[in-house]
């Protein structure tokens, strides 16, 4: 994504892990994204979630001898869309390779992947860390197929260690998978987390993956090395495999950064290896020494001709790309006058952005609409565990609530109460205000009587005011609000109290 405001030095983003140690981390990511196609990468089996195990299989994805793979065109389209969104060059010709290894979730004993002639190369991804715009170069985007799913039974928390037996569900085997490989341009664990969150927003916004983390539809390996701050050299890296939690990623990178720094300062040399992060102990431990490419004995898949991506077709896809989060965030700043932070929160995820824009389209102030969408509404989504746009709080209803505050019908405090009742009673804000008698009292005559009563009941405080103690006004306003159960218009009460005291 080309972005003229982009910087890649990441000075501010580096403030976390690297600060004050004299060392800085250098992080790269390999991100796997399952594509949301109807069928698998090389056969006609449906891609599904939650169906009974081994109900979507065929000779191709079970690797029966003689079965031949056929490339899923929609998967190629989705992969090209991702590559284009990352500013990559889509190569007119790419090649599928066999990546050979033996594991129970891989019936062919090889995975069809891409190797030295991938689908797309040399892109970049712009992302925000706080107020800083960083750019990470993208090395490549390639296509492959997912492995089947292993289920370990009888052990603790589904881990293989201590389990009694393991089962294989081949429903997932052969699901189209994209691997996005970044260059080691990411300057901190915090930046790595932001990179992944914003990349996830991107693939969801493209409509190519639901990227549900718990389902492993997006997962990643992170590699990290350390170097003396500002030195520009690259140290030996270690790899953290197969993570799908932003929080654990952050913790794991922090832990591994400290381990490497301690080790180097004690005179050790970092070995290239694959590590496991244990969230319980907060430590990284070696899993195995890193495989080299030659361990996989890559060779071109003899059952598939090279993949051609016709440049005219690629251009057609480029023209029909949906609006990407970075462009939408910039538009929210320009069109609605939102701060960059608010625009990122609202404009990043496509579904929340659509909800917000529907509220604004009802004609309410964009800034107020933003506050309510990011505040009460987002909290409600979290609490109810639902996606933006679902549930009974529609854009029209939220806009109606904002309008009631804007025209002074209800106070800001009452509005929060009304929102809670909108969730609970599933009703229209105006009806809820009427039914629960929550309208703000802005009738000067009615309030004057209350003010007079309060002043009469507190002669000592009236004396204090006359003696020059101006703060007593606040006390009177508070008393009037109490008398009216918080329904009085505070601004008007303030005026009336001052007028009565002066008179
Ligand atoms: Zn199949």
Residue 437 vs residue 342, higher pLDDT? 342
Measured CA to CA, the distance from residue 482 to residue 474 in angstroms comes to: 12
Does 275 have pLDDT greater than 90?
no
Q: Which residues pair with 129 in a beta bridge?
A: 132
56 CA distance to ligand 1 middle (Å) = 7
Measured CA to CA, the distance from residue 368 to residue 407 in angstroms comes to: 12
Tokens of 230: 């500002």
Does 161 have pLDDT greater than 80?
no
Point out the least confidently predicted range of 284-288, 383-387, 452-456.
Answer: 284-288
Closest CA to 375 of 401, 404, 350, 396: 401
206 CA distance to ligand 1 middle (Å) = 26
357 CA distance to ligand 1 middle (Å) = 41
- 78-81's contacts with Cβ under 8 Å and 24+ in sequence apart are 78/35, 78/36, 78/37, 78/176, 78/178, 78/206, 78/208, 78/209, 79/35, 79/119, 79/120, 79/141, 79/143, 79/176, 79/178, 80/119, 80/120, 80/309, 80/314, 80/317, 81/206, 81/208, 81/317, 81/321
Q: Is 113 helix (H, G, I), strand (E, B) or coil?
A: strand
* Per-residue pLDDT at 146: 95
How far does Cα 62 stand from its chain's mean position?
A: 34
What lies within 8 Å, CB to CB, of 136 at 6+ separation is 8, 124, 125, 127, 182, 183, 185, 186, 195
319 CA distance to ligand 1 middle (Å) = 33
40 CA distance to ligand 1 middle (Å) = 7
Report residue 421: phi and psi, to 5°. Answer: -70, -30
* Per-residue pLDDT at 292: 64
Count, residues in the chain: 503
Residue 2 vs residue 327, higher pLDDT? 327
Tokens of 492: 């008007």
Residue 446 vs residue 101, higher pLDDT? 101
419 CA distance to ligand 1 middle (Å) = 49
Q: Are strands 238-243 and 273-278 parallel, antiparallel or unpaired?
A: parallel
H/E stretch holding 165: strand 165-169
How far does Cα 405 stand from its chain's mean position?
A: 31
Q: Is 401 helix (H, G, I), strand (E, B) or coil?
A: helix
User: In the structure, what pLDDT confidence band is assigned to residue 290 with cuts at 50, 70 and 90?
Assistant: low
Point out the least confidently predicted range of 258-262, 291-295, 326-330, 438-442.
Answer: 291-295
189 CA distance to ligand 1 middle (Å) = 39
Q: Where are the alpha helices (DSSP H) in 338-394?
A: 340-347, 350-361, 366-372, 378-384
Any idea which residue has 């020494």 for tokens? 289
pLDDT, one tens digit per residue, over 466-494 is: 888 888 899 999 898 888 877 788 888 88
82 CA distance to ligand 1 middle (Å) = 25
The side-by-side arrangement of strands in the sheet containing 120-129 is: 89-90, 120-129, 132-145, 176-182, 23-34, 218-228, 238-243, 273-278, 283-289
* Per-residue pLDDT at 411: 80
* Per-residue pLDDT at 356: 96
What lies within 8 Å, CB to CB, of 40 at 6+ separation is 46, 47, 56, 61, 72, 145, 174, 175, 176
Burial 161-183 (b: 16+ CB within 10 A, else e): eebeeeebbbbbbbbbbbbbbbe
Measured CA to CA, the distance from residue 277 to residue 360 in angstroms comes to: 44
Q: pTM (2 decimals)?
A: 0.78
pLDDT, one tens digit per residue, over 54-86 is: 999 999 999 999 999 999 999 999 999 999 999
In this prediction, residues 246-262 reach a mean pLDDT of 91
61 CA distance to ligand 1 middle (Å) = 4
Give the rounded percent of residues in the chain with a pLDDT score beyond 70: 94
149 CA distance to ligand 1 middle (Å) = 14
User: In the structure, what pLDDT confidence band is assigned to residue 157 with cuts at 50, 70 and 90?
Assistant: low
Does 442 have pLDDT greater than 80?
no
218 CA distance to ligand 1 middle (Å) = 22
Please identify every residue whose CB atom is under 5 Å from ligand 1, which is an ion. Answer: 43, 45, 58, 60-61
Closest CA to 290 of 309, 271, 268, 306: 271
Does 2 have pLDDT greater than 70?
no
304 CA distance to ligand 1 middle (Å) = 16
In this prediction, residues 344-371 reach a mean pLDDT of 93
Residue 59 vs residue 417, higher pLDDT? 59
* Per-residue pLDDT at 291: 61
472 CA distance to ligand 1 middle (Å) = 78
* Per-residue pLDDT at 180: 98
59 CA distance to ligand 1 middle (Å) = 6
Give the rounded percent of residues in the chain with a pLDDT score beyond 90: 52
Does 5 have pLDDT greater than 50?
no
271 CA distance to ligand 1 middle (Å) = 40
Percentage helix, strand, coil, to 5, in the chain? 40, 20, 40
Q: Which residues pair with 125 in a beta bridge?
A: 136
Does 119 have pLDDT greater than 80?
yes
pLDDT, one tens digit per residue, over 204-221 is: 989 999 999 888 899 999
Measured CA to CA, the distance from residue 361 to residue 368 in angstroms comes to: 13
* Per-residue pLDDT at 475: 92
93 CA distance to ligand 1 middle (Å) = 25
Q: Is 454 helix (H, G, I), strand (E, B) or coil?
A: helix
75 CA distance to ligand 1 middle (Å) = 15
Does 449 have pLDDT greater than 90?
no
Measured CA to CA, the distance from residue 129 to residue 195 in angstroms comes to: 8
Does 394 have pLDDT greater than 50?
yes
Closest CA to 307 of 469, 72, 105: 72
58 CA distance to ligand 1 middle (Å) = 4
Tokens of 463: 């004396």
74 CA distance to ligand 1 middle (Å) = 16
User: In the structure, what pLDDT confidence band is assigned to residue 288 with cuts at 50, 70 and 90?
Assistant: low
Residue 136 vs residue 489, higher pLDDT? 136
283 CA distance to ligand 1 middle (Å) = 40
In this prediction, residues 167-189 reach a mean pLDDT of 95
219 CA distance to ligand 1 middle (Å) = 23
71 CA distance to ligand 1 middle (Å) = 12
172 CA distance to ligand 1 middle (Å) = 10
């Amino acid at each position: 994504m080309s972005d003229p405001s982009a910087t890649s030095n990441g000075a501010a983003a580096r403030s976390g892990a690297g600060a004050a140690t004299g060392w800085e981390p250098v992080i790269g990511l390999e991100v796997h994204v399952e594509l949301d196609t109807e069928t698998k990468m090389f056969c006609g089996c449906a891609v599904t979630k939650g169906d009974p195990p081994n109900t979507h299989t065929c000779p191709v994805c079970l690797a029966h001898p003689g079965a031949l793979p056929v490339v899923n065109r929609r998967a190629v389209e989705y992969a090209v869309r991702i590559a284009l969104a990352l500013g990559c060059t889509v190569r007119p010709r790419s090649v599928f390779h066999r990546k050979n290894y033996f594991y129970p979730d891989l019936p062919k004993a090889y995975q069809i992947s891409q190797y030295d002639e991938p689908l797309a190369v040399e892109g970049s991804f712009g992302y925000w860390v706080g107020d800083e715009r960083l750019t990470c170069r993208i090395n490549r985007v390639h296509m492959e197929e997912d492995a089947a799913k292993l289920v370990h039974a009888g052990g603790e928390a589904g881990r293989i260690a201590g389990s009694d037996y393991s089962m294989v569900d081949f429903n997932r085997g052969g699901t189209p998978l994209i691997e996005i490989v970044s260059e080691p341009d990411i300057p901190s664990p915090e930046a790595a987390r932001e990179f992944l969150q914003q990349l996830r927003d991107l693939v969801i916004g493209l409509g190519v993956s639901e990227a549900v983390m718990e389902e492993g539809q997006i997962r990643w390996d992170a590699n990290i090395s350390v170097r003396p701050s500002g030195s520009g050299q690259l140290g030996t890296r270690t790899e953290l495999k197969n993570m799908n939690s932003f929080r654990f990623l952050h913790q794991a990178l922090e832990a591994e950064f400290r381990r490497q720094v301690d080790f180097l300062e004690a005179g050790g040399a970092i070995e290239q290896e694959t590590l496991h992060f244990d969230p319980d102990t907060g430590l990284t431990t070696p899993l195995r020494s890193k495989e080299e490419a030659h361990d996989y004995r890559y060779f071109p898949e003899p059952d598939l001709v090279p993949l051609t991506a016709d440049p005219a077709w690629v251009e057609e896809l480029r023209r029909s790309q949906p609006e990407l989060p970075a462009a939408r965030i910039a538009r929210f700043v320009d069109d609605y006058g939102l701060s960059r932070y608010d625009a990122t929160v609202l404009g990043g995820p496509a579904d929340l952005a659509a909800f917000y824009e529907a509220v604004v389209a009802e004609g309410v102030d964009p800034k107020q609409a933003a506050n309510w969408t990011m505040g009460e509404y987002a909290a409600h989504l979290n609490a109810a565990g639902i996606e933006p746009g679902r549930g009974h709080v529609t854009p029209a209803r939220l806009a109606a609530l904002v309008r009631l505050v804007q025209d002074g019908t209800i106070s800001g405090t009452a509005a929060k109460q009304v929102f809670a009742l909108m969730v609970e009673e599933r009703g229209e804000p105006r009806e809820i205000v009427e039914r629960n008698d929550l309208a703000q009292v802005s009738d000067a005559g009615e309030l004057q009587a209350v003010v007079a009563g309060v002043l009469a009941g507190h002669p000592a405080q009236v004396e204090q005011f006359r003696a020059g103690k101006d703060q007593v006004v606040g006390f009177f306003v508070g008393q009037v609000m109490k008398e009216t159960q918080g329904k009085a218009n505070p601004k008007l009460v303030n005026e009336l109290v001052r007028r009565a005291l002066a008179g």
